[in-house]
Amino acid sequence: MVSFGEALRSRFISLRRLNRLAQYRNRKIRDQVNQERAVVEERYLQLQNIKSEIEHLQKEIERCYDFRSADEHIALVPLEEFYANAPANISQEEVTRKDPHQQHLARLNWEMQERKNLVGTLLEREGRKSVLISDITTKEHRLKSLKPKIEAIIEIAESI
């Protein structure tokens, strides 16, 4: 027969074993929960990063839509005049009629060439103008120097 003390000891050992087993299971479940929590937190952080990136890209898209180019304020010649007067290597009619962006670029290119030509013409004419002005001033000086001589001749002619 088993004595009361041995039965108590046996039950106490069983309780300790069951307690250790429960603690082991708790630790294992806690580790599992921590691993799952780490995965969830990592995915949540990725989600936050992606949301932030999407927001940044949307702001960038809005900024692009709101962008106003400096060339929008340039008065370009009408399309008919552009296609009539621009050289074929600039107008590239078969391409620019289909693509508005290429058309705009070609018109800007031709406008720039035309303005450069006009600046060259302006400089040439300003040079001619300055030559003519200097010629006129030399003739005026010559005429002014002739005036006293003519007056002297008139006085002599009147006295005769």
Amino acid (one-letter) located at 61: I
* Mean pLDDT of all residues in 95-101: 90
Supply the pLDDT for residue 50: 98
User: Could you tell me if residue 75 is left (phi over 0), alpha (psi between -120 and 50 degrees) or otherwise beta?
Assistant: beta
Q: Which long-range contacts (CB under 8 A, 24 or more apart) does 128-135 make?
A: none
pTM beyond cutoff 0.75: no
Instruction: Quick: pLDDT tens for 37-81.
Output: 999 999 999 999 999 999 999 999 999 999 888 877 888 888 889
Q: DSSP code of 56?
A: H
Supply the pLDDT for residue 75: 84
pLDDT band for position 1 (cuts 50, 70, 90): low
Report how far Cα 142 is from the mean position of its chain's Cα atoms.
61
